[in-house]
Amino acid sequence: MLEVVVTAVVAIFSAACGWLLSHRWNAKAYRLAVDNERAQWNASVEQWACRVIDVMVHLHYTFDKFEHVKAIEESRTLAIELSILVDQGRLYFPNVMRDQHGVEKQVSRQGYRSALLDPLVAAVKIAEGTKPSFDALGLKEKYGTN
């Protein structure tokens, strides 16, 4: 009779230890998977940001090298590239306050654009030749007050 009780206690203890070890390994595997996903997302955002920097530097060089009208002509391709990057940026930085603005629009366009993308949109407009709200050719405030 004592042997049966000892065997049952050992079996229950073994099952509890097995469950705890299994739970710990599953939790650790989950944390590793989440960390891996986050690292992949960060790498994707970093790659996107590097492409944005590349286009912005080319735009800056174009507007420094040429007169304003000629720079606009030369930067049309860069404006398209930057516009594409803005739309790709919406995947990483989605619109905010979707239920308060633009509910009549398609789902991906509802809400306000992320503030991070606003300067890029402004750069697209300048590269397309839309007159900025500051004197872009002025030497003192060449790039506006921002």
> What residue has token string 């993308």?
117
pLDDT-derived band of residue 143, with 50, 70 and 90 as boundaries?
very low
Provide the domain limits for residue 8. 2-128
Q: Are 49 and 92 in contact (CB under 8 A)?
A: no
Predicted pLDDT of residue 88:
92
pTM: 0.66
C-alpha closest to that of 122 among 95, 144, 106, 100: 144
Question: How far is the CA of 62 from the CAs of 16, 24, 46, 78, 97, in angstroms?
Answer: 69, 57, 24, 10, 36
Q: Residue 80 has what pLDDT?
A: 93
pLDDT value, residue 133? 55
Q: Is residue 137 part of a domain?
A: no
Report pLDDT digits (tens) over 73-106.
888 999 999 999 999 998 898 877 766 766 677 7
Instruction: Give percent above pLDDT 70 in the chain.
Output: 84
Q: What are phi and psi of 130, to 5 degrees?
A: -70, 130
Phi, psi of 96 (to 5 degrees): -110, 160
In a domain, residue 133? The reply is no
How many domains, the chain?
1
136 found inside a domain: no
Residue 65 has pLDDT above 70, yes or no: yes
State how far the Cα of 75 lies from the Cα of 118, in Å rounded to an integer: 19
Decide if 143 is inside a domain. Answer: no
Closest C-alpha among 49, 79, 50 to residue 62: 79
In a domain, 138, yes or no: no
pLDDT of 26 strictly over 50: yes
